[in-house]
């Protein structure tokens, strides 16, 4: 029996069971909490990164359009001259008996040459097959435009029609590079022959083209975008012929095939490269002019380095792993230290702990007359005090955020003016206690009202500060700037001077004239408001310039529309169209438009409420991810 007693396995001490149990609980809680926190933090980082990419894409497209508008400055100057020249060309064709071989093209060119720079004009005759059969430029003979289906189709339309057509200024194929802004640029115009058998073409070269091109350069745009976005590794602009028109930064080869795909599909897409750790986005910028023969649309290749995102995610994982390991280690150590000092007073301590766990944080652990429990007693009491301090601090911060929210709400109009003949309503809902969206309505006198809706980049307290600055700047500037374009231009200058490049604002600013029933607006990179006319047609009020806070001289344009009875104008921020449901689907402008069509007969406040309800129903239980602001103007 004695041998059996010595060989009997000794049971583990209760302390080890307790330590193991506590360690398991701590591990589950820590791992679960950190996993949830990590997922949310990861989503926020990826979302911010995606927003910056999308803004860069939009800025690139808008910058290209601005450059293209600069290139078009000479069109109105040369079009009348080119038309007169082509009419003389057509008269000579008729005098030759409609026989182009009987025309003296050199003599015709000499007759019209005085209107152009020396040795800068050439004439071409293109047959019904799209082939240049006669020209003052020998190298051009035999060029077959049928190899370019879109261009050939446009030529055929000109030949069978009766109208004069002119292309924008285009760069010659052999010099299609922004690195050489003094390269040859040409402008072409077309007129059908009277018998519609040929297309008469004229081409002009001018030093003015290069001068304008040097002042409106894709290269300068590329360098500026590269400096704004730290994740942008390289940018390349492809002209309509697939040649590189501008390039900046570090960018590899092989992008042309994707640029050709974007041009063929007339849409953009993304191409990830895990090997180089980059994401290439191809943005198709539609520059087609229905009145022109050539398509001058370009493709912008934006190569984003994923290193900053990958590094941020790696740091996030490392931080959370260290926190988890430390939390578990500390928990086990405390449990071990506590249970080692177990004595007969454990029941008293358990009772005290249960009372505290029930919510009585003011309760203090009773002293036990043993040295083993002295440290445990002190630690638990310290922990309780810390919890009280943290609770008080949390309540204080909540109170401060409530005050900040009240202050921000004070910036919104307490009462919205009611212009005669119009119904106006608006509301704003921040995603957090405070946000970056705002709207404003104020009288400019003499029956004119300023309508403002804006979205500051970011969310939370930083965005709310920039919101307050933006709203104040626009209000003050509007006092002395009486046109929409000048008001936003001056606001942009003030914003850049005071806020630097730390943030930017998308903003829609409009002046409503209740007497003339007109709306003159500037759209600074904001979501295009939707104008539903009384007849059911819809018009988008597209951007007339870039976002505020990016460019020193953005060159904002303004447009004026007339509002008829029954017209409904819906202004909104991207928190509406980009609201997501549990399937990560966005609400989209299409759904917004459907809500407008369904509820356009309601008063303005009813339309606002219908949109808000539709967005809420679409998102369901998903938390609001961005600030939502809506303003509706209805012509009565």
How confident is the model over 566-581, as pLDDT tens digits?
A: 999 999 999 999 999 9
Q: Is residue 355 very low, low, confident or very high in pLDDT (cuts 50, 70, 90)?
A: confident
- Range in 27-41, 348-362, 565-579 with the lowest mean pLDDT: 348-362
Share of the chain above pLDDT 90, in %: 35
Domain extent listing, the chain: 45-330, 412-635
pLDDT at position 256, please?
83
Q: What is the mean pLDDT of residues 134-158?
A: 89
Whether 463 has a pLDDT exceeding 80, the answer reads no
What CATH number has the domain spanning 412-635?
A: 3.60.40.10
Residue pLDDT, tens place only, 42-100: 788 878 888 888 888 888 888 788 777 766 665 667 788 889 999 999 999 999 999 99
Whether 275 has a pLDDT exceeding 70, the answer reads yes
Whether 433 has a pLDDT exceeding 80, the answer reads no
Q: What is the mean pLDDT of residues 204-219?
A: 69
Mean pLDDT of the chain: 82
pLDDT at position 6, please?
47
Question: End-to-end distance of the chain based on CA atoms, in angstroms?
Answer: 106
pLDDT at position 502, please?
66
Q: Is 3.30.450.20 the CATH number for 45-330?
A: yes
More confident residue, 140 or 571: 571
Q: pTM (2 decimals)?
A: 0.42
Q: Is residue 180 very low, low, confident or very high in pLDDT (cuts 50, 70, 90)?
A: very low
Length in residues, the chain:
636
Q: What is the CA radius of gyration of the chain?
A: 35
Q: What is the mean pLDDT of residues 185-210?
A: 86
Alpha carbon distance 77, 169 (integer Å) = 12
Produce one character per residue of 44-54: b if its CB has 16 or more CB atoms within 10 Å, e if not: ebeeebeebbe
Whether 259 has a pLDDT exceeding 90, the answer reads no
Asked whether 209 and 183 are in contact (CB, 8 A), the reply is no
Residue pLDDT, tens place only, 582-620: 899 999 999 999 999 999 999 999 999 999 999 999 999
Alpha-helical (H) ranges within 72-148 are 75-95, 105-112
């Amino acid at each position: 029996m004695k041998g059996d007693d010595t060989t009997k396995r000794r049971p583990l001490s209760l302390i080890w069971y307790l330590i193991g149990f506590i360690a398991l609980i701590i591990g589950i809680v820590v791992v679960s909490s950190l996993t949830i926190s990590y997922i949310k933090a990861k989503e926020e980082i990826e979302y911010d990164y995606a927003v910056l990419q999308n803004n860069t894409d939009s800025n690139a497209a808008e910058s290209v359009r601005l450059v293209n508008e600069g290139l078009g400055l000479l069109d109105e100057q040369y079009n009348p001259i080119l038309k007169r020249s082509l009419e003389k060309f057509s008269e000579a064709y008729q005098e030759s008996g409609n026989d182009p071989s009987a025309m003296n093209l050199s003599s015709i060119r000499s007759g019209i040459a005085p209107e152009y720079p020396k040795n800068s004009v050439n004439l071409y005759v293109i047959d019904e097959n799209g082939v240049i059969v006669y020209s003052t430029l020998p190298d051009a003979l035999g060029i077959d435009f049928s190899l370019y289906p879109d261009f050939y189709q446009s030529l055929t339309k000109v030949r069978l029609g009766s109208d004069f057509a002119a292309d924008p200024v285009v760069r010659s194929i052999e010099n299609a590079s922004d690195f050489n802004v003094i390269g040859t640029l040409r402008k072409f115009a077309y007129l059908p022959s009277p018998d519609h058998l040929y297309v008469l073409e004229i081409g002009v070269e001018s030093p003015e083209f290069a001068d304008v091109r040097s002042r409106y350069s894709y290269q300068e745009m590329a360098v500026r975008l590269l400096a704004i976005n730290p994740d942008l590794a390289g940018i390349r602009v492809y002209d309509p012929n697939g040649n590189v028109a501008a390039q900046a930064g570090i960018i590899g080869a092989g992008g042309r095939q994707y640029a050709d795909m974007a041009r063929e599909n007339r849409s953009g897409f993304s191409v990830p490269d895990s090997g180089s750790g980059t994401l290439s986005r191809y943005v198709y910028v539609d520059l087609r002019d229905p009145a022109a023969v050539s398509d001058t649309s370009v493709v912008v290749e934006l190569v984003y380095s994923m290193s900053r995102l990958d590094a941020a995610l790696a740091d996030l994982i490392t931080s959370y792993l260290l926190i988890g390991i430390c939390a578990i280690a500390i928990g086990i150590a405390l449990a071990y230290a506590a249970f080692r000092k177990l004595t007969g007073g454990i029941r008293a301590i358990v009772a005290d702990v249960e009372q505290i766990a029930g919510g009585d944080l003011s309760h203090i652990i009773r002293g036990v007359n043993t040295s083993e429990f002295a440290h445990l007693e002190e630690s638990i009491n310290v922990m309780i005090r810390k919890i009280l301090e943290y609770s008080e601090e949390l309540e204080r911060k909540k109170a401060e955020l409530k005050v900040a929210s009240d202050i921000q709400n004070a910036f919104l109009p307490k009462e919205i003016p009611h212009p005669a003949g119009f119904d106006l309503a608006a509301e704003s809902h921040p995603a957090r206690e405070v946000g970056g969206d705002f709207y404003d309505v104020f009288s400019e006198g003499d029956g004119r009202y300023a309508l403002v809706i804006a979205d500051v980049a970011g969310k939370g307290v930083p965005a709310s500060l920039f919101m307050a600055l933006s709203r104040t700047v626009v209000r003050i500037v509007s006092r002395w700037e009486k046109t929409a374009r000048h008001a936003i231009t001056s606001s942009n200058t003030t914003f850049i001077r005071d806020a630097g490049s730390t943030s930017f604002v998308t903003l829609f600013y409009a002046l409503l004239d209740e007497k003339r029933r007109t709306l003159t607006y500037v759209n600074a990179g904001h979501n295009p408001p939707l104008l539903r006319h009384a007849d059911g047609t819809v018009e988008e009020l597209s951007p007339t310039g870039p976002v505020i806070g990016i460019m020193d001289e953005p060159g904002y344009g303004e447009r004026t529309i007339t509002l008829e009875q029954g017209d409904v104008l819906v202004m909104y921020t991207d928190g509406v169209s980009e609201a997501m449901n549990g399937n990560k689907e966005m609400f989209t402008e299409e759904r917004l438009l459907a809500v407008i069509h369904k509820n356009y007969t309601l008063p303005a406040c009813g339309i606002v409420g219908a949109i808000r309800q539709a967005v809420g129903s679409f998102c369901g239980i998903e938390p609001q991810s961005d600030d939502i602001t809506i303003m509706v103007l209805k012509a009565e």
